Homo-oligomer: A and B are copies of this chain.
Amino acid sequence: MSQDKPSIPKGTRDFGPATVVKRNYIFSVIKRTFEKFGFLPLETPAMENLSVLTGKYGDEGDQLIFKILNSGDFLSKVSAQDLEQGYKPLTRKVSEKALRYDLTVPFARFVVMNRNEIAFPFKRYQIQPVWRADRPQRGRYREFYQCDADVVGTNSLLCEAEIILMIDEVLSTLGLDDFTIKFNHRGLLAGIAEAIGAKGREADLCVAIDKLDKIGQDAVNDELRQKNFSEESVNSLRPILNLAGNISDLLPQLDTLLQDSEEGKRGLQDIRSMLSFLESFTINKAKIQLDVTLARGLSYYTGCIFEVKVNNVQMGSISGGGRYDNLTGMFGLPGVSGVGFSFGVDRIFDVLEELNLFPKESQTITQLLIANFDEASMRYALPVLQTLRAAGISAELYPESAKLKKQMAYADQKRIPNVLLIGSEEIESGLLNLRNMRTGQQEKLPLAQILEVLQNNATV
């Protein structure tokens, strides 16, 4: 047996109780919202067949997929000649399975495999970890959770409107009050390419524009020139990228700009349709902004796209998504349009920490510790413990007699807000000593009243 000092793989994390509890709070708000909007949970296996994943994320993505070594004699299918070919062609001979890289491809795979049993439109959410062999760095992990919700099988723009409502509901419920949901439409980007005399080149345009925030407009222009966009195109793009203002100011300008582009007009129509649905709803806290420079890298988006920025914290996008017209096409099922989005839980976690928005109640699991002084107090405590738990209160008895200081430190470290002290005096009187660990106050109360205090605390 190895006696080495143990460690965990780079880019992975243990989540101790204090962190799990906070993360679960975020997950539960997201889950509750997804469910309120009619989304149902799906779970897929961590391992997918390598053939399902390969080719879906580009060459770079393929390299970042964690492959699983075939079990047993993984060399059995390998010849001496195979070995000379290098590691890339060898991979498929020694590995048939891999860890999922995102939740979108497994979702598409599930839809195709179960197309005959699914009632479309299919609204599913999925909250599971994914794995990427990326270089670990601050805020980038090799194992992390994605929280996706998608609807497939309908073109209705109500779905886009409801995505905005869900983002608004999740983030306002978490206590955020200054965030912007930016949206755009791939049709607008296609229309803009057309308007600047570069019809059909919206893919290159998107890649360049996507970097606008990071590298600035001059560098974007340089990139476009390198990609053989004409000087005229680059110049006519400039004022478009600077378009700003209310949605109601922007739309007429875009009508004019994109009047000769079918794609552009389709985009504007979709946006108007989405906005008309939104008008019937009340938005909590979200600012909603049409941003024609929003591009999002993923090539499979074909309609509306979204991204969410928290304005009062330095942090990248915490949520995003969009419509794709052919997700299941990769598995031979064309024509299933869908729209989806996801939340970045690690970033939301950091935002809530920075703004101190985790509610105190959400961090309490064990509500009460009964201190253990001696055999007599321990025996007295046992039925008390059962009464508390039967009333739904999470409670424990320190399992052995120990110094009170040690037991108090234990309660502190576990963030248990109440300690019940039962000494000989308390046993005699039946009035038990309840200590509030936050205020330090102690009060002698009969058990019935202690139950009341704790039940009230729990619901505050």
- Residue ranges of A at the interface with B (Cβ–Cβ < 8 Å): 1-9, 12-17, 20-21, 24, 35-38, 40-49, 51-52, 54-56, 63-64, 66-69, 71-76, 83, 86-87, 90-91, 94-97, 99, 109-110, 112-114, 117, 119, 121, 123-124, 129, 131, 133, 142-143, 151, 154-156, 158-159, 277, 280-282, 330-332, 365-366, 369, 378-379, 382-383, 386, 389, 392-397, 399-400, 409-410, 412-414
Bound-state Cα–Cα, A330 to B3, Å: 6
What separation, in Å, do the CA atoms of A121 and B398 have in the docked complex?
A: 8
**Residues of B close to A73: CB separation below 8 A:** 86-87
Shortest Cβ distance from A111 into B: residue: B6
**Bound state CA distance, A66 and B66, in angstroms?**
12
Hey, which chain B residues are within 8 Å of A382, CB to CB? 277, 280-281
Identify which of B45, B158, B394 contacts A8 (C-beta below 8 A).
B45
B48 and A383: CB pair below 8 A? no
Using CB atoms, name the residue of chain B closest to A121.
B399
Known contacts A68-B68, A71-B64: A45-B281 contact under CB 8 Å: no
Q: Is the beta-carbon distance between B400 and A3 smaller than 8 angstroms?
A: no
B6 touches A331 (CB 8 A): yes
Given A40-B365, A119-B413 in contact, is the A55-B2 Cβ separation under 8 Å? yes
* Chain B residues with CB under 8 A of A36: 389, 392-395
Roughly how many angstroms separate A6 CA and B115 CA in the complex, as a whole number? 12
Q: Give which listed residue, B74, B95, B151, B281, contacts A383 with CB less than 8 A.
A: B281
Could you list 8 A-B pairs, sorted by A, with CB under 8 Å?
A: A3-B331, A7-B113, A46-B129, A47-B131, A73-B86, A154-B399, A159-B399, A282-B386
CA A397 – CA B10 in complex, angstroms? 45
A12 and B87: CB pair below 8 A?
no
A277 to B378, CA, bound (A): 10
Number of copies of this kind of chain in the complex: 2
Q: How far is the CA of A61 from the CA of B413 in the complex (A)?
A: 36
Please state if B6 and A38 are interface contacts (CB–CB under 8 Å): no
Please determine whether B156 and A7 come into contact, CB atoms closer than 8 angstroms: no
B35 engages A365 (CB within 8 Å): yes
Q: Judge whether A280 and B43 touch: CB under 8 Å.
A: no
With both chains docked as a complex, state the minimum distance between the C-beta of A51 and any C-beta of chain B, in angstroms: 5
Asked if A69 contacts B41 (CB within 8 A), the reply is no
Q: B63 touching A71 by the CB < 8 A rule?
A: yes
What 7 pairs between A and B have smallest CB-CB spacing?
A38-B396, A280-B382, A17-B40, A12-B45, A156-B399, A71-B133, A119-B413
